[in-house]
Amino acid sequence: MRKAGPPEVSFRTRLSHAMLLSLGLLVVPACFADRLAELYRHLPLNQRQPAPDSYGRWRDTNTTDLYGITEIGIERSGCLGACPVYAATIQANGRFAYDGIVAVKRKGHHTGSVSVADLPRLAQLIQDMGFQTLPSNFSAPATDQPAVYTSIVVHGKRKIIYDYGNAGPSALWAVEQLIDKLLQGATWDDKKSISFP
């Protein structure tokens, strides 16, 4: 005699339950995905106007203007842990040179191209933050922290900022991150499918 257990469920029933469950999982996040957009649409019109730039004209996000920047560079130093150590220099035409030293997937000297379309936004951030006027040294009162050297050449003049332990302003951190993001999306000349760093 067979023991009484849960009734057997057909494949078709299981499939329909799985489909309903997946639809439920897809519909619920969609309900929340539009929350900020809906709040924005209810703002008064005067609070939804595009912000003019410092010259009183609207910013053109499709510009190719690099504000006189001809080179952007980054160098990350090590720490006692597994901090990546590398250096990269990006030219205004998108070409870059990279040297991977320690705790990176790409070791040695490499070259390639970054997206030229993304350079103007990075250049705009560098310009807006007043990179050329920042102090050249930001140091955290700690030991064993990685350091980042960020170099910008504007109209032939090089400015290098040393940022030890992420002590610099948040805009400097953002520039460092955006340079790394450019390299993450780069086309490497050696065509190896190794991720960055």
What is the C-alpha separation between 127 and 108, in angstroms, rounded? 32
What is the C-alpha separation between 16 and 8, in angstroms, rounded? 15
Render pLDDT for 51-77 as a digit per residue (tens, 0 to 9): 655 444 444 555 567 999 999 999 999
Greatest mean pLDDT range, 2-6, 166-170, 191-195: 166-170
Higher local confidence (pLDDT), 192 or 49: 192
pTM of the entire structure?
A: 0.72
DSSP secondary structure letter of residue 58: B
Domains in the chain: ranges and CATH: 69-188 (3.30.1560.10)
CB 103 within 8 A of CB 78: yes
For residues 34-55, average pLDDT: 72
Burial string for 68-99 (b: 16+ CB within 10 Å, else e) reads: ebeebbbbbbebeeebbbbbbbbbbebebebb
Tokens of 195: 């991720």
Greatest mean pLDDT range, 6-10, 22-26, 40-44, 168-172: 168-172
| pLDDT of amino acid 196 | 76
Render pLDDT for 76-131 as a digit per residue (tens, 0 to 9): 999 988 999 999 999 999 999 999 999 999 999 999 999 999 999 999 999 999 99
